[in-house]
C-alpha cells in the first residue's frame, strides 16, 4: 500500500469561504464531465440539473426544464461526445436534454421501476440504461432500413385485415 499526501485543490471560483456557492438545495446525487473536459453536470436531490464551467467554477445558469429525480441514491448521468445531449434518469424514464439550452430533446420510456444509471456508447450511438426492474435496456436510433421494414410490416398487417378467412 502506498501512502502519500493528497491536497485538496482550491478552485479559482472558490478561493474563499465567502465566495462559495451552494451547488444544490439538497444532496448532490450525480456528477459527470463533458467529454471535452470543459464543463461539469451535477444533479441534486432538489430535482435540478446544473451545468458548471470548470475553469471558472461558475454555474452557467442553463435553465434545464422540469424533471423529477430519485433523491434517495446516486444517479449516473451520460453525455454525448459532442456534448450536445445529457441523459439523466428521471424516475422510471430517461430524459435527454440539450446541454446548452436545457430543453427536453426526448424522453425514453420502457422500464417498470426507477432508473438508476445510463451510459452512452458513442461508437454505436446507443444508450444503455439500468433500473430497479433488474433490466438493462439498449436504446438505438432507428435506421432507414429498419424503418422501411417496419413500414412493410404495417402494410402487410393492413392487407391481412382485408383477407377473407372463410374457406370455399
Percentage of the chain modeled with pLDDT above 70:
73
Closest residue by Cα to residue 97 from 61, 126, 63: 63
Burial of 3 from C-beta contacts in 10 A (0-12 / 13-18 / 19+): exposed
Q: How confident is the model at residue 143 (pLDDT cuts 50, 70, 90)?
A: confident
Q: What is the DSSP letter of 66?
A: P
Query: Residue 126: is its pLDDT beyond 80?
Result: yes
Closest residue by Cα to residue 42 from 59, 20, 17: 59
Q: Compute CA distances 65 → 25, 41, 62, 83, 114, whole Å.
A: 17, 14, 9, 18, 20
d(CA 20, CA 63): 21
Tell me the sheet residues that pair with 120: 127
The arithmetic mean of pLDDT across residues 151-165, rounded, is 52
At residue 147, the pLDDT reads: 54
At residue 40, the pLDDT reads: 97
pTM: 0.74
The 10s digit of each residue's pLDDT in 5-35 is: 555 555 555 444 444 678 888 999 999 999 9
The 10s digit of each residue's pLDDT in 43-91 is: 999 999 999 999 999 999 999 998 999 888 899 999 999 999 999 999 9
Query: Residue 151: is its pLDDT beyond 70?
Result: no
**Inter-residue contact 32 to 80 (CB < 8 Å):** no
Q: Compute CA distances 110 → 76, 92, 93, 94, 128, whole Å.
A: 18, 8, 7, 9, 12
**Inter-residue contact 26 to 49 (CB < 8 Å):** no
At residue 55, the pLDDT reads: 96
Query: Residue 166: is its pLDDT beyond 90?
Result: no
Q: Domains of the chain by range and CATH?
A: 12-162 (2.130.10.10)
- Gyration radius from the chain CA atoms: 22
User: Cell 471560483 belongs to which residue?
Assistant: 13
Closest residue by Cα to residue 38 from 15, 16, 21, 60: 60
Amino acid at each position: 500500500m502506498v501512502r502519500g499526501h493528497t491536497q485538496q485543490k482550491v478552485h479559482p471560483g472558490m478561493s474563499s469561504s465567502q465566495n462559495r456557492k451552494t451547488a444544490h438545495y439538497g444532496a448532490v446525487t450525480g456528477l459527470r464531465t463533458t467529454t471535452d473536459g470543459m464543463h461539469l453536470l451535477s444533479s441534486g436531490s432538489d430535482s435540478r440539473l446544473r451545468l458548471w464551467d470548470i475553469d471558472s467554477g461558475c454555474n452557467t445558469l442553463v435553465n434545464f426544464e422540469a424533471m423529477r429525480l430519485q433523491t434517495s441514491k446516486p444517479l449516473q448521468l451520460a453525455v454525448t461526445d459532442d456534448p450536445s445531449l445529457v441523459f439523466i434518469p428521471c424516475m422510471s424514464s430517461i430524459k435527454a436534454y440539450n446541454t446548452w439550452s436545457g430543453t427536453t430533446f426526448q424522453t425514453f420510456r420502457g422500464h417498470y421501476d426507477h432508473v438508476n444509471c445510463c451510459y452512452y456508447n458513442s461508437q454505436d450511438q446507443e444508450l444503455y440504461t439500468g433500473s430497479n426492474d433488474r433490466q438493462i435496456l439498449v436504446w438505438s436510433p432507428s435506421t432507414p432500413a429498419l424503418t422501411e421494414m417496419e413500414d412493410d410490416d404495417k402494410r402487410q398487417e393492413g392487407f391481412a385485415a382485408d383477407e377473407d378467412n372463410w374457406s370455399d
